Amino acid sequence: MDPGNIAALSALFGSAIGALASLGTSWFTHHYQNERQRAVREHVRRERIFVEFIDLAPKNFVEALLQTAIEDPAKFIPLYATIGKLRLFASARTVEAAEQVMNRLVATYYAPKLDFHARPEVDRSIDILREFAESCRAELR
């Protein structure tokens, strides 16, 4: 082979390798950025659903403390719908904790009522969201 042809082929292959490296780097960077953005969106979505559940559950719990029976089951619909969203995006542990909150709410309707005029004995069982919140925190880490 002629040394001029070797030099031309070397320059051509060098340019091709450089172009492929540049394309590969661009693709990898773009792919990584897309994955990172998807992960951030997923994190925000989960956080929003967790907050929604935490906002809804105490409202139902206060009503359960005051009522002697479930008078309007439709009040559970937003909470039940939020548990459905949790089933789509949250871990099994978090969904189980949410279901325990729901079970505790229903049980509270039929439990003996507290006397709010006397100072009740404080215990940790009144915090129905503790396990759910801890599960959410672990999932969001």
Q: What is the pTM of this model?
A: 0.77
Range of the domain at 135: 3-140
Which string of DSSP letters, residue by residue, matches the chain?
A: --HHHHHHHHHHHHHHHHHHHHHHHHHHHHHHHHHHHHHHHHHHHHHHHHHHHHHHHHHHHHHHHH-SS-S-GGGGHHHHHHHHHHHHHS-HHHHHHHHHHHHHHHHHHHSPPP-TTSPPPP-GGG-TTHHHHHHHHHHH-
Ranges of residues in the chain with a pLDDT under 70 are 1, 116, 120, 122-125
Residue 12 confidence (pLDDT) = 83
Residue 124 confidence (pLDDT) = 62
Domain total in the chain: 1
Residue 120 confidence (pLDDT) = 64
Residue 122 confidence (pLDDT) = 65
